[in-house]
Structure 1
Amino acid sequence: MKIFLKSILLTLPLLCLPSTAEQWRSVTTDSQLNYEVTFQGLPIAGQFKRFSVIYSPAAKLLVKVDVGSADMSDDELNSEIANADWFDTGRFSEATFSSESLNAQSNASQDFIAAGNLNLKGVSEPVDVPFLWRQDAENPGRAIMSGQLTLQRSDFSIGIGDWSSGEQIGIDVSVSFIVHMQRQTDELTH
């Protein structure tokens, strides 16, 4: 019994020591978060100019998007999509995706699916985000995360009222991203 207590007492300080966890953060100046919808059958593109990504391999993917940074390269369109029928940026300024699990695809060590919830315009929906992870061979502290998925804007009450039918503006929204990532080392305590 004394040996057991001694072992616990000697191990306790080790449990409180800081440890390092691998974490990656987006380099926003080099990254892109794009979307594409159809307007009367023709593609029209936009992008979010302000967003951040935090990735902890085998643990968590967290994406935060400043919805007011949506840019469709037209001031009139940008003003319209900020309104209540669309993004309602006055009430819902941020969208977040937070993974609940990260799974490697069967035969690829660089293909993953982050399953989690997307919170957009006050609505939370389950979403799977497929992505390719490529670490820079010359600089192991850098990597690129890229991928593409399709969302239905109606799931998040985007384009309501006269816009909800999908006749003029399609319901499907293609989202693509190329995110340059930088390795970080955070001190964590248990």
Structure 2
Amino acid sequence: MIDVTINTQSITTNNKDWDGTIKGSQWFSTADFPSAHYLSSNIHTEDGKFIAHGELTLKGTTKPITVVFNWQEENGIAKFTGSATIDRREFEIGSGSWATNESVAYEVVLDIDLQLRKQ
């Protein structure tokens, strides 16, 4: 099972102007939706990779999302690297003047890179 909560208020673009904008209502609306959530209990392997079928809740909308990932354990550290593709329109991400595919692509690739240690 994968059960991940993401603090949307921690979003950063490393650009002072964008950091304020991306947290606003046209993008992630982090004041109203301070977290996103991914849950999957359907995980299998295919062609040497793990495939997780689950649901992503972002800005109050829940949609099915498939995450393809690798899992590697080394020296007490588990490395989880993977990706998923979402259509940002399904989550009302990038509205107003940002609503076109020309401003920001509708399909967005989410790259995931986690290092986990046992406590």
The question of a shared fold, defined as TM-score above 0.5 by the shorter chain, is answered with yes
Inter-partner Cα distance in structure 1 for 2:52 and 2:83:
12
Inter-partner Cα distance in structure 2 for 1:68 and 1:128:
24
Counterpart AA for 2:52: A
- Runs of 5+ in structure 1 lacking a partner? 1-59, 185-190
How many residues end up aligned between the 2 structures?
A: 119
Between 1 and 2, higher relative CO (CA 8 Å, sep ≥ 6) is seen in 1
Q: Kindly indicate whether residue 78 of structure 2 is the aligned counterpart of residue 143 of structure 1.
A: yes
Question: How far did 1:142 drift?
Answer: 2.1
Q: Kindly indicate whether residue 69 of structure 2 is the aligned counterpart of residue 134 of structure 1.
A: no
Inter-partner Cα distance in structure 2 for 1:182 and 1:151:
28
Q: Kindly indicate whether residue 104 of structure 2 is the aligned counterpart of residue 166 of structure 1.
A: no
* Deviating 4+ runs (over 2 angstroms): none
SS in 2 for 1:170: coil
Inter-partner Cα distance in structure 2 for 1:100 and 1:156:
22
Of the candidates 72, 77, 87, which is equivalent to residue 28 of structure 2? Answer: 87
Q: Kindly indicate whether residue 119 of structure 2 is the aligned counterpart of residue 119 of structure 1.
A: no
- Give the TM-score normalised by structure 1: 0.59
SS in 2 for 1:71: coil
Structure number with bigger Rg: 1
Q: Kindly indicate whether residue 117 of structure 2 is the aligned counterpart of residue 182 of structure 1.
A: yes
- The superposition leaves residues 81-117 of structure 1 with CA deviations (integer Å, 9 ceiling, x where unpaired) of 1111110111000001000311111x42xx2111110
- Runs of 5+ in structure 2 lacking a partner? none
Provide the alpha-carbon RMSD of the alignment. Answer: 1.4
